[in-house]
Structure 1
Amino acid sequence: MTPSAEDLLAVARLYWGADEAYLFRQDPSPEDLRYEALWAEKNVERSRWGSFVKTLRKVLPGCDAWDYAPGLANPSFGVLIYPHQERDMMRPQTRWTVAGYLSILAPVYTVHCVRRVFLGKHLLEAKAFLGPIPLELQDVASTVARRIEEEFGATSLPLDVAQTPVPLYVNFMKPPATTLFHALFTSEPENIL
């Protein structure tokens, strides 16, 4: 069962500040200390997550799957799935990535897509799509979701709950733009490798 937005906000408040009082201070806030302690505890599960990503590589042979858990930057374990596609270095190309995140704060996950436009190796644009998955990526996204549920027992966070505004400062996100999605998964969903 998916926790309510109120329950998730209560959990997020333990790890993210409601003001910028510690922004320019050298010492960490109480929320920072709890967040760092939780990550220290959850790092024990990093090898389990790595095995999960290896399993995805086997079950999604037309894709590359990579572990994406950039330390303390995100409150989640992440996987990025890159469907194989031909590349043309002479004209802009659109590349899609399926991103799956398992929150370390609550037993919830999300799967969404990121569209990036490149000219050669230069990134021109990146945009996260938290809503409906494009048709050509639905099988990949469904596989990632199903495997997270099976392996970790997490439930999918519905989009309407994920988009609930929260009065918290999450990395560079500030109210009123901050949502539960940012607090539970990543503050920069379009910023991927």
Structure 2
Amino acid sequence: MTPSAEELLTIARLYWGADEAYRFRQDPSPEDLRYEALWAEKTKERPHWGAFVRKLREAIPSCDVWDYAPGLANPSFGALVYPHHEKIMRRPQKVWVVAGYLSILAPVYTVHCVRKEYLGNQLRSAKAFLGPIPLELQGITDTVARHIEAEFGATALPLEVAQTPVPLYVNLMKPPETTLFHALFTSEPGNIL
């Protein structure tokens, strides 16, 4: 069962501050200390996540699947799925990436898409799409979701709950822009490799 927005906010408040009192201080806030301690504990689960990513590669042989867990930067483990593409030419090209995140704060996950636009080898823009999945990526997103559920017992965080505004400062996100998505998964959903 998916926790409610209120329950998730209560959890998020343990790890993210409600003000900027510690922003320019050298000593960490109580939330920072709890977050760092949780990541230190979750680091022990990295081999399990790595094995999961390898299984996901086998389940989606038509794609490249990469581990994406930048430690303290995101409150989640992540997997990026890149459908195979022809070599990027000199003309503008759009590339879709599927991102699956398993929160370390609560037993929830999300799968969304990022559209990257290139000119040659240069990334021009990246935009996250948290809402409806493009039809051509639906099979990939369904596979990622099924595997996360089966391996970790997490439940999908509904979009309407994920988009709930929260009065928290999450990395560079600040109210009123901050949502539960930012607090539980990543503050920069479009900023991926």
How far, CA to CA, are the matches of 1:147 and 1:56 in structure 2? 7
SS in structure 1 at match of 2:72: helix
Q: Does 1:136 align with 2:136?
A: yes
Aligned residues: 193
How far, CA to CA, are the matches of 1:49 and 1:82 in structure 2? 18
| Counterpart position of 2:56 | 56
Match runs of 1:69-148 below 5 Å: 69-148=69-148
Q: How much identity, in percent, do the aligned residues show? A: 78
Please list the CA deviations of residues 161-185 of structure 1 after superposition, one character each: whole Å capped at 9, or x if unmatched.
0000000000000000000000000
Please list the CA deviations of residues 9-60 of structure 1 after superposition, one character each: whole Å capped at 9, or x if unmatched.
0000000000000000000000000000000011111000000000011110
Shift of 1:71: 1.0
The answer as to whether partners of 1:161 and 1:180 remain within 8 angstroms in 2 is yes
Structure 2: stretches of 5+ with no match in the other structure: none
Stretches of 4+ aligned residues off by more than 2 angstroms: none
Shift of 1:88: 3.3
TM-score (norm 2): 0.99
How far, CA to CA, are the matches of 1:171 and 1:90 in structure 2? 35
How far, CA to CA, are the matches of 1:182 and 1:192 in structure 2? 14
Given residue 75 of structure 1, which amino acid in structure 2 is its aligned partner? P
How far, CA to CA, are the matches of 1:125 and 1:39 in structure 2? 30
How far, CA to CA, are the matches of 2:87 and 2:158 in structure 1? 34
Instruction: Please say which of residues 134-143 and 87-96 is displaced more in the overlay.
Output: 87-96
SS in structure 2 at match of 1:34: helix
How far, CA to CA, are the matches of 2:87 and 2:94 in structure 1? 9
The answer as to whether partners of 1:168 and 1:174 remain within 8 angstroms in 2 is yes
How far, CA to CA, are the matches of 2:154 and 2:177 in structure 1? 26
How far, CA to CA, are the matches of 1:129 and 1:7 in structure 2? 25
Structure 1: stretches of 5+ with no match in the other structure: none
SS in structure 2 at match of 1:77: strand
What root-mean-square deviation, in Å, do the aligned CA atoms of Structure 1 and Structure 2 show? 0.5
